[in-house]
Amino acid sequence: MILKNGLSSFKTALALITCLLMFTMNVANAAPRMIPSPPNLAAKSWLLIDANSGHILVEHNADETLPPASLTKLMTSYIAAEQIASGTISRQDEVLISEKAWRKGGSKMYIRVGTRVKLEDLLRGIIIQSGNDASIAVAEHIAGSEDAFADLMNKQAMSLGMNNSQFQNATGWPAPEHYTTARDLAILAKAIIFQHPEHYKFYSEKEFTYNEIRQPNRNKLLWRDPTVDGMKTGHTEEAGYCLVASAERDGMRLISVVMGTNGENTRATESMKLLTYGFRFYETVRSYEAKNELVASDIWLGQQDQIKLGVDEDIWITIPRGSDKDVKAQLDFPSELRAPINAGDEVGSVKLVLDDKVLTETSLVALETVEEAGFFKRIWQLILLFIMGLFE
């Protein structure tokens, strides 16, 4: 373990050595990790991401802008979930169906003009039945018009970091400047899964009946793999057949995005290749929990002599299966921490390294507040620091 300025005391050194023994092992004797090349898919663009760590396992043309077809409805439903969470609308709202929504072609929920439909039913119509009519009805309910809703979609995309996306409608109906990327869709999928888990449950439902018309979910993976619990299909002549899928096995959640295949079965088969590859050869590990003490460091000029250090958020890493014992932790912080320090203050960094490659780096923070000591203790410790400085 490497520290910038050395250690201020034997006690701190002992604590750090203990941390090193607990969280690291030498990789010199590690067995070679046999991981094959990722699958090559019959698609224009694809991406596989570990949802917890954000680690990209596989990608090809992930930043190429492509028409998303009905994958657009992921954003439509996300905005609805956001509005519900904020209290602006409710799942129990009775939504008036306009003639525009009723007349829209393509895939339908088969709502009738002039009727009122519960918002929760419309959300199922969007997610399960991929209804263009339901999408327009929800867009109009939220923003007054589909054009205004498209503006909201673009603002939401920017706030999520979907920097290569532009939306012109709520359905994915072909339009010249309506596009997104595999990477942006993965960002959106992750936001839906983690920010709105109750809303995400709709994506696992295999069928929905409305107006006495039963329609199955177009995501064939819901039947092929019990660990798949979402998400959304899309198809137009220009976009080809597309699928965003997510599955969870043993605490590891993967998100796959496949765009531009030539058929319904192909998009499902190619998505399954990605998920199988990710689950078989990688694992997700939570290395550190938020607010748990990683090390106790000496602190000078404070009312107490030690301070607990840790991380603000859980640290997740994606690693080859069986290599968790080979991950090394590197804690880097100054040798002389001085009070006052508030809980949450950044004091250094934590790196996790595997085979000399940095997997992740995050801030090391104070887990408690240490107030400044009284006058006489500060004077005494300043003298000690001065004397120590002379020897160094």
Q: Count of alpha carbons within 13 Å of 182, Cβ hemisphere only?
A: 25
Amino acid of residue 218? R
Cis peptide before 231 (omega within 30 of 0): yes
Q: CA 139 to CA 97: how far, in whole Å?
A: 11
Tokens of 16: 């750090």
**CB-CB contact of 298 with 305 (8 Å):** yes
Are 22 and 108 members of one domain?
no
b/e for 369-385, b at 16 or more Cβ within 10 A?
ebeebeeebbeebeeee
Last residue of a domain, one of 158, 189, 217: 217
For residues 244 and 47, the answer to whether their CB atoms sit within 8 Å is: no
- Grouping H, G, I as helix, E, B as strand and the rest as coil, residue 126 is helix
Give pLDDT tens digits along the chain (392 positions).
333 333 344 344 434 434 444 444 343 344 556 899 999 999 999 999 999 999 999 999 999 999 999 999 999 999 999 999 999 999 999 999 999 999 999 999 999 999 999 999 999 999 999 999 999 999 999 999 999 999 999 999 999 999 999 999 999 999 999 999 999 999 999 999 999 999 999 999 999 999 999 999 999 999 999 999 999 999 999 999 999 999 999 999 999 999 999 999 999 999 999 999 999 999 999 999 999 999 999 998 989 999 999 999 999 999 999 999 999 999 999 988 999 999 999 999 999 999 999 999 999 999 999 998 888 888 887 888 788 777 76
Catalytic site positions: 70, 73, 130
Same domain membership, residue 203 and residue 72:
yes
Do 69 and 14 lie in a common domain?
A: no
The two tokens of residue 24 are 């690291």
Instruction: Give residue-wise pLDDT tens across range 291-315.
Output: 999 999 999 898 999 999 999 999 9
- pLDDT for 331-365, tens place per residue? 999 988 999 999 999 999 999 999 999 999 999 99
Please say whether the beta carbons of 91 and 76 come within 8 A: no
Residue 5 in any domain: the answer is: no
- Look up the domain containing 347 and give its range: 10-27+287-391
Nearest-angstrom CA–CA distance, 27 and 25: 6
Do 14 and 108 fall into the same domain?
Answer: no
Find the angle CA(281)-CA(285)-CA(290) to the nearest 5 degrees: 160
User: In terms of domains, do 209 and 324 share one?
Assistant: no
Whether 18 and 68 share a structural domain: no
Q: In this structure, are 293 and 382 located in the same domain?
A: yes
Q: How many domains does the chain have?
A: 2
Are 93 and 191 members of one domain? Answer: yes
Which tokens hold the place of 371?
């107030």
DSSP state of 42: S
Residues 204, 187 contacting (CB under 8 angstroms): no
pTM here is 0.86
**Whole-angstrom distance, CA of residue 295 vs CA of residue 349:** 12
SS3 state at 12: helix
